Structure 1
Amino acid sequence: MKSAQQDSAISVLADIKKRYVHDRSVFIPGRQMKELLTFLGASPEDVEKLRTASESLKDDPTLPFRKTQNGRFCLDSGSRRVSRLESQPFVLSSEEDFVRHDSGELRRFHEIQNDLALNPALHALFALKFLLIHGMDTVHRPLLAYDSAQWICTLFNIRTTTDVSLLGEPALEGVHSDGVDHTMTTFLGCSNMTDDSATTFIHDMREKNAVRWNETSPELVVGTARHGDFLDTLLLVDHERKHSVSPVYTIDPDQPADRDMLIFFTRRPALKGHVSYPYDSMTAHRSLPMSADLPLLDLDSEREHVPVGS
C-alpha cells in the first residue's frame, strides 16, 4: 500500500510531466529534486555526493575553458533497466542544429568513473528522466529508431571556467539543439560566479542556429531559466525547442569562476545513415559495468493528451 508521502511524490511527478508535455520544457527547482531523488531510491548522503562529482574532471578535447567526462547509458522500457554501454566517440553535426567549429568532428572524452556512475542518486536522475519522457510523443528526428523500446543517453559531467584569460561559455555554439529527443540539465554547483551568469534562453525552432544568446530575436524567445541552486534541473524537447546560454562571469575577477553541470542527452538509437550510427554501440561496458532498475510508475493517467509540437 502506498504511503501518503509516496502518493504526494507521484502526484508531483505527474504534474511535472503534465507541464513538460504541454510546454515542451519544464524547470524543476533543486529543493523539489532532492525530495524526488530520495523517493526514487537515493539516500540524502548519495545526493550530497553529487556536489563533488566534478572535482576530478579532465580537459575537454576542443574547448579550453571546459573540463569534461562522459558516459553512455541505455534506458530500456522493456526490461525497465538502465545499464552502462561501452565508450564510443561522440559527434554532433550542423544538420542536427549544432553549428560550431567542431561540428561533425569526432570527439573522444575521458570516461565517467564509478564514483558517479554507481551513485544511487545518479540512478534516480536516470529514473526521473525516464518517467518524464516515457510514452511522450515528440516531433521525430530523421534516422532514429522510434519503434525501439530503448533510449541512448549520453551523460556529460561538465565544469565551465572563466578566468583572467578565458571566458567560459556553457554554449559557445550559440542557439542550437543537441541532436537528441530530450535534453536534461542538472546543476551541481558553482564558485565565484555572478547571479546573472549562465541564463538559459529557450527559443522557437525558427530562430537561426549559431546566433549568440544576446543577439536573438526577442519574439522567438519562448522561455528563460537559470540554474542557481543545487540540483536545479531543466528539461527540453530538443527537436521542438532550441536554446542558448549566457557566459559565466566572475564575482572576483582575480579568481576563476566555475559552474558544474550534469547534461543528459537522450534519443532513440541511430539508424544507418545517421552521423552517429557507427558510434552507437549497444554493447555493455566491460570494465565499468552499471545496471539499475527503472521504476514502474504510470504518470500518464493523470494528465491529458497534448498533440505533438503543440
Structure 2
Amino acid sequence: MAKLLIDMGAHEHDLEGIKQVSDGLSSDPTLAFRRTRNGRFCFDMENRCIYRMSAQPFVLTAEEDFVRHDSGVIRIFDEIEDDLQSNTALQALLIFKALVVDGVAVAPRPYLDYSAAQWVCTLFSIRTVTVPELLGEPALEGVHSDGVDHTMTTLLGSRNMAPTSAVTFLHDPAETNGTPWDAVDPGLRLGSYQHRDFLDTVLIADHERKHSLSPVFAVREEEAATRDMAIFFTRRPAIAGHVSYPHDALVPHEKRPVSVRIPFVEHDDPLPSASLSNPFRRLREDR
C-alpha cells in the first residue's frame, strides 16, 4: 500500500507524518473511550477531482443497520485540520478509494442518487483507547453496517495493543443488528481480517456485508492501549427521504479548501508493465 500511495503522489515524510495525526484528536461526542475528528470530501468523477466540503452534522440510524445508544442522534465532531487534509498520504488514500470504487456495482441503498457523478466521503480520524477502568471498543454497536456504499478502514498506528485486538468480522446481512461480536451466529460469519501493520486496509461493500470488531486489549494492562485508524465512509449523495438529506450539501469548505486531481486512465490503455510501478493497471486488474 505504501508503494501504491507513493506512486499516487504521497511523500515519504507524509507517510511518517500521518502516523502522528491522532495525537491531536478531540473528545468524541458520545463515546468516552474514543478521540475523533472528521471531514467531508466530494469525489467528483465528472471533473476528476476530490475537494473538501463544508462541515455538516453526522447521523446514522437503526434503519441503516446501525443500532447503538446514539442511533438517530445528530452528532457534531470537531473537524480535521491541515495536518491531515494536506498530508499527501491521506490525499493518496482518497484517490485510491475513488479509483477502486467508481464504476463498481454494489447493492443500492434507498434514497441515494445513483445517477450522480459524485460521491460523498466522510473521513473519520479515530483513536480508540483502552485504560484499566475503560475498555475501548472500535464497534461498541456490535454487528452493524455504516449506512454507506463502501467502508474503507486503514491502520495508522497502535501502542501497547495486544495481538488479539480489533479483529474485523464479516457477517451475512441476515445477522441481527447489535449482536455482540462474540455472540454471533457462526453460520452467518463469513470471514475475518485484522489490521496488523501500518497502512493495512480493508474495504467493505457496506450494504452487502455487515461487520463487527473485537475490543482493543492492552499488552501491559496497567498502561493505556491505543489504536489509530482512518475510516472512509463513501456513498452517493442523499435525496429527499434520507436522514442525511438536510446535511448533504456538496459545497466546498470555506475556511479549509483543498482539492486534488483524480488521475484519468482509460481501461483499454496499453501499459508496459503490471508491476506496482504502475498502480492504476494493478488496480484495474484487481478490480
Shift of 1:45: 1.3
Root-mean-square deviation (CA, aligned residues, Å) is: 1.4
Are residues 114 and 175 of structure 1, via their aligned partners in 2, closer, same or farther at CA, if it must alter by over 3 Å?
Answer: same
Find the counterpart in structure 2 of residue 226 from structure 1.
Answer: 194
Alpha-carbon offset, residue 120 of structure 1? 1.1
Match of 1:155 among 103, 123, 132: 123
What amino acid does structure 2 have at the position aligned with 1:294?
I
Shift in Å, 1:251: 0.7
Structure 2 regions of 5+ residues with no counterpart? Answer: 270-283
Q: Classify the secondary structure of the residue corresponding to 1:107.
A: coil
Deviation at 1:297, TM superposition (A): 2.5
How far, CA to CA, are the matches of 1:298 and 1:257 in structure 2?
Answer: 45
Query: Deviation of residue 184 (structure 1)?
Result: 0.2
Residues 131 and 297, structure 1, Cα contact 8 Å, conserved in 2: no
Gaps (5+ residues) in structure 1?
A: 1-32, 306-310
| Matching residue of 1:22 | none
What residue number does 2:12 align with?
A: 44
Q: How does 1:22-101 map to 2 (within 5 A)?
A: 33-101=1-69
Give TM-score scaled by structure 2 length: 0.93
SS at match of 2:127: strand
1:107 & 1:152 partners in 2: Cα distance? 17
Aligned equivalent of 1:145: 113
In 2, the alpha carbon distance for the partners of 1:299 and 1:105 equals 42
Structure 1 residue aligned with 2:181: 213
TM-score, length-scaled by structure 1: 0.86
Counterparts of 2:183 and 2:266 in 1: how far apart (Å)? 42
Relative distance call for 1:56 and 1:304 in structure 2 (3 A) is: closer
Question: Which of 169, 178, 196 is the matching residue for 2:146?
Answer: 178
Residue 16 (structure 1) aligns with: none
**CA distance in structure 2 between the aligned counterparts of 1:70 and 1:255, rounded to whole angstroms:** 27
Question: 2:182, 2:263 → 1: CA distance?
Answer: 41
Q: Which amino acid aligns with 1:125?
A: L
Q: CA offsets, 1:20-79, max 9 Å, x none?
A: xxxxxxxxxxxxx10100111111112111110101000000000000000000001100
> Residue 252 of structure 1 aligns with which residue?
220
Amino acid aligned to 2:134:
L
- The 2-side partners of 1:115 and 1:39 are apart by 21
Structure 2 counterpart of 1:190, one-letter code: S
Q: Which letter does structure 1 place at the counterpart of 2:160?
A: N
Q: Tell me the equivalent position of 1:118.
A: 86
Q: One-letter code of the match for 2:250?
A: M
* Alignment of 1:102 onto 2:70: yes
Note the C-alpha offset of 1:298: 4.3
Q: Which residue of 1 aligns with 2:272?
A: none
Distance in structure 1 (CA, Å) of the matches to 2:222 and 2:183? 28
How much has 1:221 moved relative to structure 2? 1.1
| Residues 131, 299 of structure 1: 8 Å contact kept | no
Conservation of the 8 A alpha-carbon contact between 1:81 and 1:294: yes
**Which residue is equivalent to 1:263?**
231
Other structure's SS at 2:22 match: coil
Could you report, residue by residue, the CA deviation over 1:233-287 in whole angstroms, capped at 9, with x for unpaired residues? 0000000010000000011111010000000000000001100000001111010
Match of 2:259 in 1: 291
1:198 aligns with 2:166: yes
- Answering whether residue 243 of structure 2 is matched by residue 275 of structure 1, we say yes
* Paired letter, 1:258: T
> Matched residues in 2 for 1:257 and 1:161: separation?
6
Q: For residues 171 and 140 of structure 1, do their structure 2 counterparts lie closer, same or farther at Cα, with a shift above 3 Å needed?
A: same
Moved over 3 A (4+): 298-305
1:13 — aligned with what? none
Report the AA paired with residue 159 of structure 1. R
Please state how far the C-alpha of 1:230 moved relative to its aligned partner: 0.3
Report the CA distance between 1:299 and its aligned residue: 5.5
Count residues with an aligned counterpart. Answer: 273
